[in-house]
Amino acid sequence: MMALAIPAYGQVTLSDAAARAKQALFAHDAEGLVGASSNLVLQIPGADPSSPLGRSQAIELLRRYFRPAEERGLDVTAIREVEPGRGFVELARRYVVAGTTELRRETLFLGYRLQGRDWRLVELRSAP
């Protein structure tokens, strides 16, 4: 029996999407986090949440958002499919701003939509 190949950005389950998001966030890999998403709503410091951003603009804003931070911990705290084809992932992030020692915490909420067999990131919100 032949194994099915999973595309580079493909996530068969929402748990797979959560694991890839955690890995990308911890590595500050904005492109890996955005994946194959074409539009993304960002609600993070430095981004206007009024409308979805194109892929390249979202990647650049995420790079700026990640730049001053040094990760100390990142945990997936919730994975839920809220309705068929729509899900969210919640992560607890611990980091310090480069050059400081004060540990900061924030919660990240990632919204996903199922497109074919891929869970695609459509929204990322940050809350202190």
Q: Which string of DSSP letters, residue by residue, matches 53-88? A: EEHHHHHHHHHHHHTTEEEEEEEEEEEEEEETTEEE
- pLDDT for 108: 97
- pLDDT for 8: 47
- pLDDT for 2: 36
**pLDDT by residue, tens only, the chain of 128 residues:** 433 333 444 558 999 999 999 999 999 999 999 999 999 999 998 777 778 999 999 999 999 999 999 999 999 999 999 999 999 999 999 999 999 999 999 999 999 999 999 999 999 999 98
DSSP 8-class letter at 29: -
Torsion sign across C-alpha atoms 66, 61, 9, 37: positive
Closest CA relative to residue 91, chosen from 74, 103, 72, 67: 74
Beta bridge partners of 79: 89
Domains delineated in the chain: 14-127 (3.10.450.50)
Radius of gyration (C-alpha) of the chain in whole angstroms: 15
- pTM given for the model: 0.87
- pLDDT for 127: 92
- Backbone φ and ψ of 10, nearest 5°: -70, 140
CA angle 123, 119, 116 (to 5 degrees): 130
